[in-house]
Structure 1
């Protein structure tokens, strides 16, 4: 994959919002972490994630993916008038928003590299909530302030995070909290209506709507090390998602969470501009998030499935070319060899190496998948038992 250039479209893991002295006085967008600067209002602070490529489906077409952490907001959303004469119809957007909003929170996070804000949602009445790793994963001790929909605050503790899936679990010491039900992303269809909730631009309690624009979009971002790269087989939506929406829920018409908002695509920002919504948002499918979150709650960490190969990044496709097979790994046991070109995993056609990784990560360690490859001009299928990446 070629390196993106300034001005190319980029995808942003919905960085926490940075309030500026005025909205038109923001710093120029940069491709990687800048040298340390004094932390004050208006300074863009990156979360250690550098630009790589987002592969936009099997047809190709790359845009970039960048994560940033920015300063805490000073914007305060006005309280909703509970005496509104508008009566929400059952199943309407208003009814869904009213049911889900009490379980959506804002996270004000302090980390070694600065302060930022994002979103999250409560999944258990005793205080577990889901957010993004790039929101809370690097929080300092006692550095997570959770702002609830009723205006109360609590200190959150990071239970655990998985950078590879851009997911984190935070726990607050409170009881009888409102929760949002988790649905399923397996049955989603392009065109289904969805609703995004969170704190874009620091505006708590914001609701936007749209549809599922596409499924299985491979999204990837590299972190400070290879081990911290995020790979998401994402739900694409045109619901407006902006900085500060990170970690908030994407729900269906029943008010069930079907995705965790994580990234946006935006045209390359220039001087005086900040990345914002252009109708291309990406969410982590909830079926994937459920496994990761359950493991984090039960063990403090979550395992990442691997196939056990190194890929040839110079190979332009179609398919993912194996550069080397990990000794003792799943691929070697199944019979894969260096030089093989993987073209399909189960029924998913593999366009390139990125799509192979996000497809494998949609499974769990121990799952058995059918890997179809081309070797010496012949198509062969091998059953492969996925193993867990070594920490």
Structure 2
């Protein structure tokens, strides 16, 4: 086909198309559709957690008020350990969890540590983590204005990883406690501390979960450890330990304690001790010199599908009572093995950590109301909580152990350890009338282990007593080097 012929064929096709479209439009009037383009909708997640009834009502998300209230009340805690105590945290699972495993042998020179703390009163009471100051020979507190003070250690509670310090100063800016029970998952929070020795650092995030247990306090070295952490995604790094977790009103709702990390740096998860636990621990230490721990007197297991199937439970709820301590509070109230605790004082509990958190807010002698499911039916019980010795009395200082066993204890000196070839032990400095003497123990005996628990302090003796229903099997040594074993009956005569 030549070019001229091809041109005429193409022109005819185009003209045919135009005529066809004109004819369709002339005879068919299609209905008109008006399409409205709506205003762009932003993702809801961008606005999640803004409390329009709070201090930022009518505006965007603004943390400046909470940050201003917090940075002046958060301090830098510097610690120093001398060479004779520098290896006290070597192999400590908490330190390995937070900072990562450490290789090689412990450093024999002075060791400097760093963390954070929160001022709780104008006269210088400060709360921090126990692991920040554990084993320290000197504790220095540096305020936000760079003023420095040597701090006195008022008391510690390893079971919650809380410690209380005191500096001699007045007129200090401090934070008020908020109620951590009231915070909700998704709520905005601020973490304030001194990561990597950077002072007054503020990060923001949301509450990711509540009543979280990560098995860092409740481990083989601290079986009585209490874990019911607030989990957040606010950035927390080494040095933040002991710092403040605050709500948007600037109230203290937690003490930042740990991160989940294989590297020692923040990877998205951080954990704080709730303020309801912190406040109780601080008040106990200030008033009594030690924490007044209350116990129901049960061994518990969180109910899962497998647990429900194993024990024939109708529903997956509550906390299963696997054993009841003889003569404990639960036993006296009528609670039995196989019961399922579903609420404490009207608050639903579905995990071990939720139940433990509620009990940890009480002292021995307090009465709590439990709702228990037994054979599918709800039953109400009033339980009077007891201390680790089985009584409802308040225990002051270390008198509980001394009164119970009939002896005064002192830690071994470094010279005594070297002479006897031991690394730890508690010596009976004076022996009175009581269970120790009745078992045949003599003055000067050094307790090395009780029920296989290494005894390095009074707290270890308490832990051994608290974890047995019957008695203590003690391993020890006399100053002469003679090894001896004793069985002590702890039941009332």
Gap runs ≥5 in structure 1: 1-88
Gap runs ≥5 in structure 2: 1-58, 89-110, 308-315, 390-461, 463-493
DSSP-derived class of the 1:294 partner: helix
TM-score w.r.t. the length of structure 2 is 0.54
Match of 2:63 in 1: 93
Tell me the alpha carbon deviations over residues 302-339 of structure 1, each in whole angstroms, 9 at most, x when there is no partner.
11121112346999635544343222211111112234
Q: Specify which structure has the higher proportion of helix.
A: 2
Q: For the residues of structure 2 that align with 1:355 and 1:188, how far apart are their CA atoms?
A: 14
Question: Could you list the runs of 4 or more consecutive aligned residues of structure 1 that deviate by over 6 angstroms after TM superposition?
Answer: 312-315
Does 1:116 find its partner at 2:113? yes
Q: Shift in Å at residue 227 of structure 1?
A: 5.1
| Shift in alpha-carbon separation, 1:367–1:95, aligned structure 2, 3 A | same
Match of 1:306 in 2: 295
Q: For the residues of structure 2 that align with 1:115 and 1:228, how far apart are their CA atoms?
A: 28
Match of 1:265 in 2: 260
Does 1:166 find its partner at 2:161? yes
Q: Shift in Å at residue 210 of structure 1?
A: 1.4
Match of 2:129 in 1: 132
Tell me the alpha carbon deviations over residues 248-278 of structure 1, each in whole angstroms, 9 at most, x when there is no partner.
1111222221211122233xx2xxxx23323
Rg larger for: 2
Q: Shift in Å at residue 373 of structure 1?
A: 3.6
| Shift in alpha-carbon separation, 1:374–1:180, aligned structure 2, 3 A | closer
Q: For the residues of structure 2 that align with 1:94 and 1:148, how far apart are their CA atoms?
A: 20
Does 1:207 find its partner at 2:177? no
TM-score w.r.t. the length of structure 1 is 0.66
Does 1:237 find its partner at 2:232? yes
Tell me the alpha carbon deviations over residues 8-65 of structure 1, each in whole angstroms, 9 at most, x when there is no partner.
xxxxxxxxxxxxxxxxxxxxxxxxxxxxxxxxxxxxxxxxxxxxxxxxxxxxxxxxxx
Contact 2:212 2:229 survives alignment (8 Å) = yes
Equivalent runs, 1:247-286 vs 2, <5 Å: 247-266=242-261, 269=262, 274-286=263-275
DSSP-derived class of the 1:96 partner: helix
Contact 2:303 2:351 survives alignment (8 Å) = no
Q: For the residues of structure 1 that align with 2:175 and 2:183, how far apart are their CA atoms?
A: 18
Q: Shift in Å at residue 181 of structure 1?
A: 2.7
| Shift in alpha-carbon separation, 1:91–1:311, aligned structure 2, 3 A | closer
RMSD: 3.0
Contact 1:233 1:359 survives alignment (8 Å) = no
Match of 2:419 in 1: none
Match of 2:282 in 1: 293
Contact 2:194 2:201 survives alignment (8 Å) = yes
DSSP-derived class of the 1:306 partner: coil
Contact 1:211 1:238 survives alignment (8 Å) = yes
DSSP-derived class of the 2:68 partner: helix
Residues paired across the two proteins, number = 295
Match of 1:46 in 2: none
Q: Specify which structure has the higher proportion of strand.
A: 1
Between the two structures, name the one with larger relative contact order (CA 8 Å, sep ≥ 6). 1
The range that moved more, 358-367 or 158-167, is 358-367
